[in-house]
Amino acid sequence: MSRTQRIRALAAASVVTALVLALVVLSGPYLRYLWLDSLSQTEVFWTLLWNRIGCVTLGFLVMAAVVYANLWLCERNWPSRGPNAGPVEVEVRGTRVVVVGRPALPWWVPWVLALGAGLLGGLAFYPLATTWLTFYHRVPFNTADPLFGYDVSTYVFTLPFCYAVLARLNLACVTALLVTGLFYVVRGNRILLHAGRIPPVVVRHLMILLGIFVLLRAPGFWLDRLDLAVNGNGLAAGAGYVDAHVLAPANGLMALATLVVGLFLILYRRFDRPLLQLSVLVGVSVLGLMTVYLLPAAVQAYVVRPNEIARERPFVEGGIKMTRLAYGLDRIEEVPFLPDEPLSPEILSDYSQTLDNVRLWDPEPLQNAYEQLQSLRTYYGFEDVDIDRYQVDGSTRQVMLSAREISVNSNTTWVNRHLKYTHGYGVVVSPVNERNSEGQPLFWLKNLPPSGLPEFAIERPEIYFGEATKWYVLVNTREPELSYSEKATPFQGTAGIPVRGGLRRLAMSIYLSDPNILLSGAITPNTRLLFDRDIRTRLHRLVPFLEQEPDPYLVIHQGKLHWIVDLYTVTNRYPYSHQAGGVNYVRNSVKAVIDAYSGEVQLVVVDDKDPLLKVYRSIFPKLFVDRSQVDPEIAEHFRYPERLLKLQADVFKSFHMTDPEMFYNREDLWELAQETYMDKERTVEPYYLVMRLPGEPEPEFILMLPFTPKDKDNLNAWMAARCDDEQYGRLLLYRFPKDRLVYGPKQIEARINQDEDISGQLTLWNQQGSTVIRGNLLVIPIERSLLYVEPLYLQTQGKTRIPELKRVIVATAESHGDEGDGGGGNRVVMRESLELALAAAFGIVTAPVPVVLDKGTPRDALNHIENAEGALSKGDWKTFGVEMQKAKGILSDLSQAEEAPPPPQKP
C-alpha cells in the first residue's frame, strides 16, 4: 500500500470513527428532544441546553486561557528561545551556571495542553447550569435568618452558586499550578542539577499562582461564616452560641488573614526577608488553629456549659421557629381532645357514614387476593393497591383499587416483550369494608372486560404507562398487540416518538442499546416508540428537580385512567432548620396527573406561594399549569400525601415544644405510635379515613396519624390532614389531656392477646393449617371517644394463598386517670363483621347480619366456566383453577341470596 493510500485509509477510518462517536454522543440528546416534543415540553430541552452550552463554553475558555497563558509565561521566562539554541549562561542567586539550552516547545504543545484543560473545564462547569438558573431567577422568601438577618433566599440560591463558582476557580488555579510546576520540573532539571536552586523568575511565577490560590480562600471563609446559619452546631438547628460568638468572627478574621497572606505571596519580592516571611506564615497558622479549634472548645467548656440554657436560649428559639416554618408546622391548628364521653348506640348512629368507611382490608392481603382472583392471565399482575374516595349512590365511599398491569417475564422473546404484550388492562375496585360469603373482597369493578358499578365505568382500560411498565414498547407494528381476549388491540393514540427512517431507528437502537429496533422487519411507517413508561421515571426525566411521592395512585375519571403523583420542592439549605430525610424544607406544591393511555403529563400547581416553585416557574414558564386549568373532577381526587405527613410528624415529635427551655430539657418528646402487624413490631403508617372530625357537621376524607410519648405506649395526640376541597392541606392536632390514660395501639393489642376467647380461636385456626394475619389496628376518633378496629384474615399455607377476611375485632376504652382502671367502658369483642362486633360491644340486639354478596349473575358464572375450559385446553392450570373458583363463588352467592335474611338496622 502506497503512502497516499495509507493516508486516505487513515482519513476514512478517522471520519467513520468520528461519525460513530457523534452518533453515540448525540443519540441521547436527540431522543430526549423527541421525547420532550411528544410531551409538548421542548422549552425544557432548549432552556437547559443553551444554559449548559453557555456554562461549558465559559468553563472551556477560562481553563484553556489560564493554562495557555501560564505556558506562554513559562516559555517567555525560560532562557532557551530558538530551536537550535546553544549553551546558555544563567545566573542563580549570584552563581553563573552554563547550561546547554533546550529547544523551545513546539508551537502546538501549549495549544494541545490548553485544549485538554479546556475540556476539563467544560466538564467541571457543566453542572453549574442548574445552579446558575436558580440563582438568576431567585425570589425572596421574605423571611430573615435569626443570626445575620439575611433573607432565606441568600442561603438557598446565592450561597450554593457562590460556592460552585469558587470551587471552579480553585480548580483552574490548581490546574495552572500543576501544569506550570510540571513544565519547570521537566524543562529545568539541568539548572537544578548544576545550581541546586530555582531561578528567581520561576519562583516569582509560582508564588503568584500560589498567592492567587490563597486569595481564593478569603471568600471561601466568608461563605463559611454565612453557612453557619445552615450547618452550625446549635442545639435545635443552625448556629449556636459558640458558632455565633466565636466561629463566625473567626471565619471573618481568617478571610482577612488569607487575603493578607495571598497579597504577601504575590508581592513577596518586596518583602524579601526570610524572618518576616516565616513570621507571617506561622502567625496565620497559629491564628487559624486557635480560632477554629482551641478557642471554640474553650468557650464551650468555660462559658457555655456552666449556663448553657441561658446562653443557647435565643438560638434554640430561632431553630424552633425556622424549623416549624420550613416544614409547615406553624400552620398546625391544635385542638384539645377530651375523651370523656363513652360511645353509645346513639353516637354510633350519628356517625354511620364513618362506620360505613372503616377500612377492613389492608393493602398487602388485598393485593394478594387480587393477584389470585383477578389477574386472570399469566401476563397480568397488580403492582400496588391504592386508596381513594368516590361518590357511590350519592354518598362518599372509601374504596381500594389496583391497576391490572402487564407483567411479562424478562426472559421472554423480544417480539413478545416489546411488540405484543405492550399494555395492562383495566382496574379492580373494592369497598374498604365489605366482603363476599367466602370472606373475599367484594368487587365493585372486576373481570375482563371491566364490569361493575356505573360510577366506575371505563371506556379506555388499556394501561401503557404505569408503575410496572419499565421497558420500552413499539406500537402499530406488523405484530398485533394482544390483550385479554388475544385479539389485536392496536394503539390509537399519538403518544410516543414516530420511528420513521433508518437514521432515527439507528439513534433509537444506540440510545436503548438494542439493535433489534434497527434490524426488525415488523416496523412500519406508523410505528411509534414508547419509552420511559414507568411514571416515576417519566416524571424524573421531566422534572428532576422535584422529589416524588413513592406511591402514585390511580383515578378513574370520565371513562379514562389517570395516575396522580405528589411532587415536592425541597432544599437542605434552609437556615436554622432541622434536617430530616436529607432535607430541611419541603412543600407539596405540585400534583402530576398522567394519562395511563397516552402518557400525557400535567403538572398542576397547588401551592403558588412556594418560593422554590416560583423560581422553577420562572425558569420554565410553560411547564406548569394552575389548578384552575385542571378538570375539577380530577382535582376532587387530590389528597394530602402520606410521605409529607410522615416527614412532618417525624419533625413534630420534637418541635411541637415551642418553649426553648422545655426543648432544651427534652421534657415532652413524642414518638409515632407502634403496632404489631403480622407478628412484627413496626411504626403505625398514616392511614386515610372518611370520617366526621370532632365539631364538624359532615364527614370528609382525611389522613391520620397517632402519637405516643417517648418510650410509652399510651396515646397523647393524633394528627389529621384534611384532603377535601377548600379544607385541603389544613393540619389539625388533637391533644389528649396529660392526666388521662388513653390506650395506644400496642396496649389494645395486648388486651386482645389477653382475651381468652380470641386467643383460643386464633390458636385453633393456626393448628388447623391456616395462617392468621392480624391486620392494621385502626384508631378511629368518634365524637369524644375512640374506637379501635382490627381485621383478621385467614390464609391457607399451601401454594395458592388467598387471604380471606374472617373476623373483625372491636375494642373500646374509656380514658381514665390514676384513680381507676376504666370501669365497664373497656370492651374487646370479635365477630364475623364490623356490624356484629359493634352490636356485641354495645349490647345492641339485631337480626343476623348477612354477608354482602358479590354482584354476579348466572351469565357471569358461565363466562368463568368457559374461560376455565379455554385455559385447560392450553394447559394453563393456574387460570383454570382461578376461573373455576370464581364460578363456584358466584353460584354459591346466588344460592345464599335466596335465603338471606333482611339486613339489620345500623346501630
Which pLDDT score is estimated for 193?
A: 47
Instruction: Pull the grid cell for residue 671.
Output: 414518638
764: Cβ contacts below 8 Å, ≥ 6 apart: none
Please indicate, yes or no, whether residues 400 and 481 belong to a single structural domain of this protein.
yes
Exposed/middle/buried for residue 711 (C-beta within 10 Å: 0-12, 13-18, 19+): exposed
- pLDDT, average across residues 664-686: 90
Please indicate, yes or no, whether residues 373 and 438 belong to a single structural domain of this protein.
yes
Please indicate, yes or no, whether residues 539 and 566 belong to a single structural domain of this protein.
yes
Please indicate, yes or no, whether residues 485 and 375 belong to a single structural domain of this protein.
yes
Picking from 267-281, 370-384, 730-744, which range would have the lowest pLDDT averaged per residue? 267-281
Do the domain assignments include residue 470? Answer: yes
Q: Is residue 295 predicted with pLDDT exceeding 90? A: no
13-46 tens-digit pLDDT: 888 888 888 888 899 999 999 999 999 999 999 9
Instruction: Pull the grid cell for residue 788.
Output: 379501635
110-168 tens-digit pLDDT: 899 999 999 999 999 999 999 999 999 999 999 999 999 999 999 999 999 999 999 99
Do the domain assignments include residue 367? Answer: yes
Q: Which position has the higher pLDDT, 859 or 229? A: 229
Do the domain assignments include residue 254? Answer: no
| φ, ψ (nearest 5 deg) of residue 781 | -70, 130
How many CB atoms within 10 Å of residue 792? 22
Share of the chain above pLDDT 70, in %: 88
Picking from 275-279, 543-547, 694-698, which range would have the lowest pLDDT averaged per residue? 275-279
Please indicate, yes or no, whether residues 397 and 484 belong to a single structural domain of this protein.
yes
Q: How confident is the model at residue 199 (pLDDT cuts 50, 70, 90)?
A: confident
- DSSP class of 725: G
Do the domain assignments include residue 190? Answer: no
Do the domain assignments include residue 709? Answer: no
Q: Are 381 and 418 in contact (CB under 8 A)?
A: no
696-723 tens-digit pLDDT: 889 999 999 999 999 999 999 999 999 9
Please indicate, yes or no, whether residues 390 and 506 belong to a single structural domain of this protein.
yes
Do the domain assignments include residue 816? Answer: no
Which pLDDT score is estimated for 409?
A: 79
- CA–CA distance, 759 with 89 (Å, rounded to integer): 103
689: Cβ contacts below 8 Å, ≥ 6 apart: 354, 357, 358, 359, 398, 701, 702, 703, 704, 778, 780
Share of the chain above pLDDT 90, in %: 63
Mean pLDDT of the chain, nearest integer: 87
Do the domain assignments include residue 331? Answer: no
- CA–CA distance, 592 with 567 (Å, rounded to integer): 7
- CA–CA distance, 684 with 686 (Å, rounded to integer): 7
Q: How confident is the model at residue 90 (pLDDT cuts 50, 70, 90)?
A: low
- CA–CA distance, 165 with 522 (Å, rounded to integer): 51
733-747 tens-digit pLDDT: 999 998 888 999 999
Instruction: Pull the grid cell for residue 427.
Output: 382496574
Strand pairing class (731-735; 333-336): parallel
Residue 495: name the closest of 462, 459, 520 by CA. Answer: 462
Please indicate, yes or no, whether residues 375 and 404 belong to a single structural domain of this protein.
yes
Q: Which position has the higher pLDDT, 381 or 819? A: 381
Q: Is residue 104 predicted with pLDDT exceeding 80? A: no
* pTM for the predicted model, two decimal places: 0.87
- Give the DSSP letter string of 679-698: TEEEEPPPEEEEE--TT-SS
- CA–CA distance, 405 with 173 (Å, rounded to integer): 55
Count the helices and strands in the chain (H runs, E runs): 29, 32
User: What sign for the dihedral angle of Cα 154, 155, 156, 158?
Assistant: positive
Instruction: Pull the grid cell for residue 627.
Output: 389548578
566-578 tens-digit pLDDT: 999 999 999 999 9
Please indicate, yes or no, whether residues 435 and 529 belong to a single structural domain of this protein.
yes
Among residues 612, 637, 662, which one ends one of the domains? 637
Please indicate, yes or no, whether residues 434 and 501 belong to a single structural domain of this protein.
yes
Instruction: Pull the grid cell for residue 91.
Output: 545566573
Provide the terminal-to-terminal Cα distance of the chain, rounded to the nearest Å. Answer: 101
Q: How confident is the model at residue 188 (pLDDT cuts 50, 70, 90)?
A: low
Classify 4 as helix, strand or coil.
helix
* Structural domain count, the chain: 3
Classify 567 as helix, strand or coil.
strand
Q: Are 706 and 744 in contact (CB under 8 A)?
A: yes
Instruction: Pull the grid cell for residue 506.
Output: 439507528
Classify 563 as helix, strand or coil.
strand
Do the domain assignments include residue 151? Answer: no
Which pLDDT score is estimated for 902?
A: 44
Which pLDDT score is estimated for 14?
A: 85
602-625 tens-digit pLDDT: 999 999 999 999 999 999 999 999
Give the ranges where 42-145 is alpha helix by DSSP (H).
42-77, 108-125, 128-136
Among residues 637, 654, 672, which one ends one of the domains? 637
Instruction: Pull the grid cell for residue 892.
Output: 354459591
Which pLDDT score is estimated for 272?
A: 63
Which pLDDT score is estimated for 204?
A: 86
Structural domain including 610 reads 534-637
Please indicate, yes or no, whether residues 441 and 496 belong to a single structural domain of this protein.
yes
Cis peptide before 449 (omega within 30 of 0): yes
Residue 360: name the closest of 773, 39, 886 by CA. Answer: 773
Among residues 637, 653, 685, which one ends one of the domains? 637
Q: Which position has the higher pLDDT, 798 or 514? A: 514
Please indicate, yes or no, whether residues 594 and 538 belong to a single structural domain of this protein.
yes
Picking from 176-185, 719-728, 882-891, which range would have the lowest pLDDT averaged per residue? 882-891
Picking from 476-490, 541-555, 850-864, which range would have the lowest pLDDT averaged per residue? 850-864
Please indicate, yes or no, whether residues 368 and 507 belong to a single structural domain of this protein.
yes
